[in-house]
Every structure is written in structure tokens, then in C-alpha cells.
Amino acid sequence: MARHVIAPVDELPPGTRKFLEIDGRPIAVFNIKGEYFGLMNRCPHQGAALCEGPLIGLAQSNSPGEIEYTKLGEIIRCPWHGWEFDIRTGQSYCDPRRFRVKAYPAHVEPGASVVKGPYVAETIPVSVESDYVVVEL
């Protein structure tokens, strides 16, 4: 598993996402209220760019008339067919047994530790003074 430096932290403020290709794989990294999430940007259903969809919540119901709406902003909804996935785990909510989208851990590392490696940062100039978003895959 390699660690990839994908952006200085101030380039990915809360509520934004960044699209990249790492080792031929389309990836998106999200900042949701200061938490970072990496996700394969390809829907396992028919191959759409999943991560271009909106972030919504999870609507669930134990019985008709009762609705719980949780995980606000943590469910990615596919821009084609609307399939929903949990951004933390990649779990599908319409068919969890057959479908899952690959989730990649992402977090912030201080520049000092990034400079030491072993990180892949081909196009990002790294300095010890800044913090960086790192995704593992």
C-alpha cells in the first residue's frame, strides 16, 4: 500500500472534493467537515463517475411512517442511476451483498513527515511548513 500526497490541505477545504488518477485508477478525495475520505470514482453498477454525484444523507425506516435521516452528507449518490454508497466504507445501500465501491483511507500529514517519505508526491511540491492530504492505496 503506497501513500500518495494529493494536495496541500488548504487546497481541499471542507465541502470540496478532488478528482485524480493514481496508478491508472480514478480516485476522488473528499473533505467532509474536516474529515477526509478517498473513494474509487467508478460506480460498480455501470461504471459512471460515481464521485461526481451529490452527497446526501441516509434515509431509513423501520416501519411505514417512520423515517430516520442520518449520515448527513456522507452518502454519495451516483450521477446516473442514483445508487447510494457510504463514503466511509464504500458500502452500497441498494445491494450491499453484491456491490461495494473501494474506499481508501485519507488523512492529513504534516509537511515534516511527508518530506521524510515513503510517500509518492510526483507533482506536489512539498515543504515542511505545510500540511498535506494523503491517500493510501
Partner 1 sequence: MNIQFRESQEAASPLTVKTAIADCDIHPARATRTELYPYLAKRWQHHLEIYGVHAYQGMMEGPPYPKAQPNASRRDAYPPEGGPQGSSLSFMQKQLLDPNNVQLGVLNPLNTGQGIRNHELSAALCSAINDWQIDKWTSRDKRLKASIVVGNEDGLSAAAEIRERAGDKNFVQVLLLSRNVEPLGQRRYWPIYQAAEEAGLPVGVHAFGFGGNPITPSGWPSYYIEEMVGHSQCQQSALASLVLEGVFERFPKLKMVMIEAGFGWAPSLAWRLDKVWQRLRSEVPHVKRPPSEYIREQVWWTTQPMEDPERREDLFDVINWIGWDRLLFATDYPHWDYDEPSRVLPAGVSEANREAFYLGNAQKLYGLA
Q: Which of 14, 15, 46, 72 binds partner 1 (CB under 8 A)?
A: 46
From residue 31, give the alpha-carbon distance in Å to each of 6, 9, 62, 64, 75. Answer: 12, 10, 31, 34, 13
> Is 69 near partner 1 (CB under 8 A)?
no
Q: Which of 80, 100, 130, 131 binds partner 1 (CB under 8 A)?
A: 80
Q: How far apart are CA 86 and CA 101, in angstroms?
A: 9
Q: Which of 55, 58, 108, 124 binds partner 1 (CB under 8 A)?
A: 124
From residue 29, give the alpha-carbon distance in Å to each of 18, 19, 68. Answer: 5, 7, 27
Shortest Cβ 83–partner 1 spacing (Å): 11
Shortest Cβ 46–partner 1 spacing (Å): 4
Q: Which of 21, 63, 125, 129 binds partner 1 (CB under 8 A)?
A: 21
Binding site for partner 1 (CB under 8 A): 6-7, 19-22, 26-28, 41, 45-49, 52-54, 79-82, 122-124
